Chains A and B, each alone.
Chain A
Amino acid sequence: MLSEERRVEESALTQPASGRLANPDVRDEFGLETLDMNMGPQHPAMHGLLRLILELDGETVVRCDPVMGYLHRCQEKIAENRMYPAVIPLTDRLDYFANMHNEHGYVLAVEDVLGVEVPPRAEYIRVLMCELMRLASHIPSVGFLMLELGAFTPILYSFRERERIQSIFEAVTGARMMFHYIRIGGVKADLPEDIPQKIWDYVETLEANFQRDFVDLIQGNEIFISRTRGVGKMTQEKALEMGVTGPALRCTGVDFDIRRDYPYSIYPELEFDVITDTAGDVEASYRVRIAECLQSIRLIKQCLEKMPEGEVLGDTGRRIRPAEGEGFGRVESPRGEYAVHVVSDGTDTPYRVHYRDPSFCNMQLLQEVVPGHYLPDIMPIMGLVDPVSGGWDK
């Protein structure tokens, strides 16, 4: 009797996600019922403040609805009442693991509508800082993924690296997380004299220890493989259909990177590879992140080598008051495409600011991918998406 039950269940689960739920015949026939369960918003393993409404059939998830909004701060509305430069410190608070990218995206949008010339040295410093930020985001992402699988060591090693990068940021910008460094028309101040050498030394040591601390430690581990291989599997078509970007898209094999396909700043002058993987599961996203870290190191070295001398802040005038029009800026944040749309009506304050945050847009992947997995597999899948609370709620 039991084996028969299980067989019917499995046949129900092979149908598309939307069909699994609306299949009451299977449940009625055997008197089986699904169980509704809330996971979060306060959950020790959950990424930030996310609530998942789960429908469980035994230990298998048949429906997963993410509920967002527990950290909503009306960032877009507040931005409408502030002057253009005063919005930049707010963008730091969006995706708090990719602050530099948030600033960069907003600044690109305002520069688009303002039409200001950015000095080349400022562009190099921006890219240098953004790539450091990508390192400081990807490395803890790997650590968080392992933490969700129950391994505590990688998170300590990854936060050791993040702290070192934050110390570099503190010396350059003055703050460890809320930088307020990239400004409209350039950056706030030039790099301190000793910092390029410090960054170079740090990146060299990171490169030397990277294989040991983040690849050898994790990649061959049997528990890691059994928990991640084939989990959260996603096809290219589905990923494209859902508008997924970033490592979650590249791990399915789609070759898409804003830095190369819609180039901004000085990325066309730099050499780097877009990392893809074919498996499309959690393990593949881990491999993509690890390989992207090495590409970031490569970009940082190129920036330091090629950096020209000169001004770092272009002339924007005393008051930033763009003519009426629209500006758009998109950057490749560690989680995917981060885009900002600014509408100006000719006054000091923007008429409308809209942020397209990858954490929010990648979240709909959960509804499609999670059903059919066991309950404990949700956490590795969250590690694949790697959302940040401040990003999806704005």
Chain B
Amino acid sequence: MPQVGQGILKGMGITLKHLFGKKITRMYPEYKRDLPERSRGMLTVDMDRCIACLQCMRICPDHCISIEQTKRDADGSGKPKPYAIGFVIDDSRCMYCSLCVEVCPVNCIYHTEEFEAQAYNRLELARQFGERPVDPTIDPKPPVKKKPKKAAASADGDAPKRAPKKVPPKKAPKEGAAA
């Protein structure tokens, strides 16, 4: 049995070399590294810029944004415009996909560098931004406007959309379009 133990000794030599090298670990809570520019942390909203277009609420896959919309003449032009009187971001649901940030037309919702979201209670993670608090536990339902009536003809309405899925997909959209 020649050279038994040589491989182990060689490996131990390598670990010994690393022992005297530079340390690669850091003490996290005391030391915090700089985050890169694109880092996606907790969301926040600049309410002065928000135009209450509800696009972020619609696109959010996890329903973590709820907005309560009213009409108010905020800029004094004499014409009431949509105004977000209540705005809540529920961090217990958010998955940091940044779809809402990309869709926002005025860039008022954005990621911060904060990532340590912890609380004793789930409701503490829901951060309110508006004047009036919104219940974050209810799934937001965007207000239905004229659109669905028009869209129903083009296979986008609620009733004809799900029905064709039962039949083979080949024929389905045609029936939906006819309805």
Contacts and interface: CB of A to CB of B under 8 A. Distances in A.
Contacts of A219: 7
Contacts of B161: 347
A44 interface: no
Contacts of B96: 175, 178
B172 interface: yes
A317 interface: no
Interface string A80-96: 00110110011000000
A219 B165 CA distance: 55
A171 B35 CA distance: 8
Interface in B11-56: 11, 14-15, 18, 24, 35-40
A170 B36 contact: yes
A171 B39 CA distance: 7
Interface bin, chain B: 35 or more
Which one of B8, B95, B97 has the highest number of Cβ atoms from chain A below 10 Å of its Cβ?
A: B97
Interface stretch (A209-217, A331-339, A384-392): A209-217
Interface of A: 82-83, 85-86, 89-90, 153, 157, 160, 170-175, 178, 180, 189, 192, 212-213, 216-225, 324, 343-348, 351-352
Contacts of A352: 169
Contacts of B156: 347-348
B38 A171 contact: yes
B38 A86 contact: no
Contacts of B92: none
Given A89-B61, A173-B38, A174-B111, A221 B165 contact: no
B106 interface: no
Nearest to A324: B173
Nearest to B41: A174
Which one of B14, B36, B176 has the highest number of Cβ atoms from chain A below 10 Å of its Cβ?
A: B36
A13 to B, nearest CB: 28
8 contacts: A171-B38, A174-B111, A192-B36, A217-B10, A324-B170, A343-B169, A345-B165, A346-B173
Contacts of B172: 324, 345-346, 351
Interface of B: 4-8, 10-11, 14-15, 18, 24, 35-40, 59, 61, 95-99, 111, 155-156, 161, 164-165, 169-170, 172-173, 176
A213 B37 CA distance: 32
Given A220-B10, A324-B173, A351 B38 contact: no
A180 B11 contact: no
A153 B13 CA distance: 12
Given A216-B11, A351-B169, A85 B38 contact: no
B155 to A, nearest CB: 7
A222 B5 contact: yes
Contact of B61 (A82, A170, A222, A324): A82
B27 to A, nearest CB: 15
B10 A174 contact: no
Given A189-B38, A343-B169, A89 B11 contact: no
Contacts of B40: 174-175
Contact of B24 (A86, A90, A160, A174): A160
A321 to B, nearest CB: 9
Nearest to A154: B11
Given A86-B59, A175-B96, A213-B14, A192 B38 contact: yes
A88 to B, nearest CB: 8
Given A85-B99, A192-B37, A217-B11, 16 more contacts: A86-B97, A86-B99, A153-B11, A170-B39, A171-B36, A174-B38, A216-B14, A218-B11, A220-B10, A222-B5, A345-B172, A345-B173, A346-B155, A347-B156, A351-B169, A351-B172
Given A170-B36, A189-B38, A347 B173 contact: yes
Which one of A82, A83, A346, A348 has the highest number of Cβ atoms from chain B below 10 Å of its Cβ?
A: A346
A89 B8 contact: no
Contacts of A324: 169-170, 172-173
Contacts of B165: 345, 351
A171 to B, nearest CB: 4
A10 to B, nearest CB: 26
A222 B8 contact: yes
Nearest to B4: A222
Nearest to A195: B36
A370 to B, nearest CB: 27
Given A82-B61, A86-B99, A175-B96, A220 B170 contact: no
Contacts of B15: 153, 217
B38 A221 contact: no
Nearest to A78: B61
